């Protein structure tokens, strides 16, 4: 396989939904940001420091996560895109 073909296969796909601001009242406003934060939480480490680096307290994170859950129930295309992003490296 040619190098550029492999590079294209390895590159994360892009979608306009990734960077659409869907929760403007929260620190995590796009599905890409939400996915990156959850992946960082899964890697372990100091979650409090991670939340702080995003300007959030535990209470704000709880409200944000709840808002994302409610949004995924209303916007199935966003939930499906989130699922795809979670599987990308």
Query: CA angle, corner 20, sides to 80 and 76, nearest 5?
Result: 25
* 3 band by pLDDT with thresholds 50, 70 and 90: very low
pLDDT in tens, 28-85: 999 999 999 999 999 998 999 999 999 999 999 999 999 999 999 999 999 999 999 9
Separation of alpha carbons 2 and 80, rounded Å: 31
**Domain range summary for the chain, segments of one domain joined by +:** 16-22+53-89
Q: How far is CA 42 from CA 6, 47, 70, 82, in A?
A: 27, 9, 21, 15
Whole-prediction pTM value? 0.82
* 12 band by pLDDT with thresholds 50, 70 and 90: low
């Amino acid at each position: 396989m040619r190098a550029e073909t492999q590079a294209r296969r390895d590159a994360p796909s892009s979608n306009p939904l990734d960077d659409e601001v869907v929760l403007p009242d929260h620190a995590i406003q796009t599905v890409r940001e939400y996915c990156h934060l959850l992946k960082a939480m899964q890697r372990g480490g100091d979650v409090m420091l991670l939340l702080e680096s995003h300007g959030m307290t535990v209470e704000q994170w709880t409200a944000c996560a709840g808002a994302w859950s409610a949004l995924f129930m209303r916007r199935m295309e966003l939930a499906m895109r989130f699922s795809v992003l979670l599987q990308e490296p």
